[in-house]
Amino acid sequence: MTQKTIGQNTGQSGRVNLSGPELKKFDADIGDSIKIDVAESKGIAKAIIENSSESEFVIVSKPESGLSMEDNDE
């Protein structure tokens, strides 16, 4: 598991950007430390199936390489 810090549009590696509603849901503030783990897709699917009673999950995905900001606007 990796230790990261919540940031807001910092542009710095090692930070996870959360804003408004997400910060409120997690009862978190900018600068708080959080733990992040990387999982394979199969592991995520298994966790969702085994925990189907949960109403929400947080899923963070790695963007495709070569994807520009302009591609996100479409």
Which of the four pLDDT bands, split at 50, 70 and 90, describes residue 62?
low
Whole-angstrom CA distances from 44 to 19, 31, 53, 62 are 24, 27, 15, 14
Helix ranges restricted to H, the chain? 20-25, 41-50, 69-72
Identify the three-state secondary structure at position 25. Answer: helix
Q: Which residue's structure tokens are 């710095």?
A: 12
The token duo for 12 is 């710095």
Structure confidence at residue 69 (pLDDT): 45
What would the pLDDT profile of 25-39 be if each residue is shown by its tens digit? 777 777 777 777 667
Angle at CA 47, nearest 5°, toward 23 and 57? Answer: 20
pTM score:
0.35
As a whole number, the mean pLDDT across the chain is 66
Residue ranges of domains in the chain:
2-63
